[in-house]
Structure 1
Amino acid sequence: MSQAPNLHSAGNLSPDTVVVSAGRPPREPDAPVNPPIVLSSTFHGTGTPAPGDRVYGRFSNPTWDPFETALSELEGAALPALVFSSGLAAVSAALSLVPAGGILVMPQHSYQGSLLLAAEEAANGRFTVRTVDIADTEQVQAALRGSDAGSDAGSGDGTRPADMLWIESPTNPMLEVAEIDVLARAAHDAGALVVADNTFSTPLVTRPLELGADVVLHSVTKYLAGHSDVILGALATSDEDLRRRLHNHRSLHGAIAGPFEVWLALRGLRTLALRIERSQATAGLLADRLLGHPAVEAVRYPGLPGDAGYERAVKQMNGFGSILCIEVAGGAEAAEAVAAHVRLWLPATSLGGVESLIERRRRQPGEPHSVPENLLRLSVGIENAEDLWSDLSSALAR
């Protein structure tokens, strides 16, 4: 089934309309308003398959098309996005673009799965990793050039230029903001690809392809699907060769998504703009109120004028996101007590759903030790802001 025309690419629609309109079936008499779920493992065909033929369910599925079309329009990609079975499956595919024996420059604070998978690949000798403070532009530029191995002294030959720059902005969970456009230019000058994990921001807040990234990554599980009920990932690019390589990796490694999960993700995407508008506004309100709270040592949120990433966020973000972090006075035990005593906030990992979640990140064994023991990551949902504040402030008061 063909998809509706890409109206947003012509500048006719704003992103908060695209989330509703993109990926709809053609307007024909008695046609469904929503794309149907296609449950088939194989597709009719005779003769030698031509490029684009579905052939088999590991290569393509009609249920994927509407979601991939919608995400590509939102990210400003010239080609359909690629949906994967999980965010980590998308990470794996993106890392496959690093050549054997190559060098990856990666933030020291990133999604834990990305860090662990990159470390595993490095331990197996497939490539080396130079970890950096992604907010330190000069350090990242040096690591890209090869004039400095960055903050990771054990990253191999420090004189070679890098092959890939991995960007998270804001980072998980420290909320550091990278100068995406400046770093993308430096990476390209060094001959490196740029992969940007846009999970925290979503394309409604940041559009990394427009800032120079080659590939954008999402854990669809989070904001795009938005209801904590699916596990999916996605990649978007405007480069035909990169997309072909990523598609081949998905097909050969079997990292394919179930049709029903992708259908749910598209349904969740329809309310993305409303969810982000609500949760982002509440996150800013909570961040302001938490500043100076006697039980809070520090507040991390790029929307605060005193935050280290504020000026960069104003420049490259449409808002400041729906994640904030606090460091609780009294150390890890006090932070755990806050998470244990909230009644509306849910003590759980993950983020980006309609419900508000709270987690002490260092409870996770693989979290970098540079993340403070008393740091709580707050994923703000769409509940009433005053109810969320009352619950959190009561727990802090204990």
Structure 2
Amino acid sequence: MSDSGPVPQPLRPATLAVTAGRPPHEPDQPLNVPVTMTSTYVATGDLEYGRYGNPTWSAFEEALGALEGGRALAFSSGMAAATALFDLVGQGGSVIAPRHSYNGTVAALADLEARGRLRAHLVDITDTAAVIAAMDGDEDCSLLWLESPTNPALEIADIAPLAETARALGIPVVVDNTFATPLLQQPLALGADIVLHSATKFIAGHSDVLMGAVVVRDDAPGAEIFDAVKGRRDLAGAVPGPFEAWLALRGLRTLHVRLERAAANAAELADRLARHPAVAEVRYPGFGAIVAPVLAGGADAGDFLVRATSLWVHATSLGGVESTFERRRRWKLEPTTIPEGLVRMSVGIEDVEDLWADLAQALDRINA
């Protein structure tokens, strides 16, 4: 018999989600990385202090990095991660971002702009030529910020040509991959420099964790970005608790199973919603677990819908195993270009027939 052993083969994403970030396969090793509860370490090692690293974060970072094809850093929230990235923009630089970005992102950019820290240029991210023209015409552009799909409009950016142009102009590219997850989209492979996640959402997946993450390329330019972002995290203390990191990693282990079921439910619901007379439009990119119907009755119809169900939960945030929804224009910071009747639905893993029955009875009452 040969002693050479099997030749390693690249693992598929579902397998990586289960196996990456595990302890070594050695006698008496635990199957899961334990929660390391400590604020400090014995001196002269690599960690030293609790703001600089934690073995439980490292396991989560290894797993997410493997899925995205880069090196990951865990943060206390998605907005903490975004703030660290905005800090990379020099004084007076500009950021090009989707006009329909997550409203926390838009609000953070507006705050920085109001304080004279940077300039924000919001664009229609679906108009690739216009975005390229915006980059070409702004010599101070220091960051191209993409969401695809956008939140809550579910618009799609053509990442590869935008990243190609940005790279030629020396502009780093960030892609918020929260909605797609690395199972449906890998922005680094499309030319992006940085991936952002609100790990609170699909990555953790159970509505019980507040966490964020950044993933950068595993190359020399990526190493410079990694060190800069880690430096911002360490200095600001924007670090997750070890138990949150452990929960997020446990959630990541079942991402492929959860997302497959939720996405199948979402596709079916998008089709049924499009055929209901109370719905004027359905925004659905053809993948993922977010659907955004626009109700013909506007704000009143949307507000009625979210109050008239028993299974669907009226709540903000998204990506959990349970189905939640909300009318996004109830938030004052939501752009006025988002329709008043748009209801963002985060589709869970319940039986689709139960989900539809709950929606249909409410929609029928709107249309009665």
Q: What SS does the corresponding residue of 1:63 show, helix, strand or coil?
A: helix
Letter in 2 for 1:124: R
Q: What displacement does 1:292 show?
A: 2.7
Are the equivalent residues in 2 in contact too, given 1:200–1:323 (CA < 8 A)? yes
Are the equivalent residues in 2 in contact too, given 1:145–1:161 (CA < 8 A)? no
Are the equivalent residues in 2 in contact too, given 1:144–1:161 (CA < 8 A)? no
Q: Which residue of 1 aligns with 2:155?
A: 176
Q: Which residue of 2 aligns with 1:349?
A: 316
Q: What displacement does 1:11 show?
A: 5.1
Q: What SS does the corresponding residue of 1:165 show, helix, strand or coil?
A: strand
Q: Which residue of 2 aligns with 1:29?
A: 27
1:1-398 correspondence runs (5 A) = 12-46=10-44, 53-77=46-70, 79=71, 81-146=72-137, 159-238=138-217, 239-303=222-286, 320-398=287-365
Q: What displacement does 1:160 show?
A: 2.5
Letter in 2 for 1:280: A
The Cα offsets for residues 200-227 of structure 1, whole Å up to 9 and x where unpaired, read as 0000000000001100000000000000
Are the equivalent residues in 2 in contact too, given 1:162–1:191 (CA < 8 A)? no
Q: What SS does the corresponding residue of 1:83 show, helix, strand or coil?
A: strand
Are the equivalent residues in 1 in contact too, given 2:93–2:140 (CA < 8 A)? no
Distance 1:291 1:330 in 2: 15
CA RMSD between the two structures: 1.2
Which 5+ residue runs of structure 1 have no aligned equivalent? Answer: 1-9, 147-158, 304-319
Are the equivalent residues in 2 in contact too, given 1:167–1:195 (CA < 8 A)? yes
Distance 1:298 1:195 in 2: 30
Report the CA distance shift for 1:255/1:108 in structure 2 as closer, same or farther (over 3 A).
Answer: same
Off by >4 Å, runs of 4+ in structure 1? none
Distance 2:169 2:122 in 1: 17
Distance 2:328 2:112 in 1: 24
Are the equivalent residues in 2 in contact too, given 1:225–1:264 (CA < 8 A)? yes
Q: What displacement does 1:12 show?
A: 2.0
The Cα offsets for residues 244-273 of structure 1, whole Å up to 9 and x where unpaired, read as 000000000110110000000001111100
Q: What SS does the corresponding residue of 2:310 show, helix, strand or coil?
A: coil
Q: What SS does the corresponding residue of 2:135 show, helix, strand or coil?
A: helix
TM-score by length of 1: 0.88
Letter in 1 for 2:25: R
Are the equivalent residues in 2 in contact too, given 1:94–1:246 (CA < 8 A)? yes
Q: What displacement does 1:191 show?
A: 1.7
Distance 2:293 2:48 in 1: 51
Letter in 2 for 1:385: V
Letter in 1 for 2:260: E
Q: What SS does the corresponding residue of 1:204 show, helix, strand or coil?
A: helix
The Cα offsets for residues 273-322 of structure 1, whole Å up to 9 and x where unpaired, read as 0000000011001111111310000000111xxxxxxxxxxxxxxxx111
Distance 2:322 2:131 in 1: 36
Q: Which residue of 1 aligns with 2:5?
A: none
Q: Which residue of 2 aligns with 1:311?
A: none
Identity of aligned residues (%): 54
Letter in 2 for 1:378: M
Letter in 1 for 2:22: R
TM-score by length of 2: 0.95
The Cα offsets for residues 94-123 of structure 1, whole Å up to 9 and x where unpaired, read as 111212111100100011111111111111
Which 5+ residue runs of structure 2 have no aligned equivalent? Answer: 1-7
Q: What displacement does 1:161 show?
A: 4.9
Distance 2:129 2:321 in 1: 38
Q: In the comparison of the two structures, how many residue pairs are matched?
A: 355
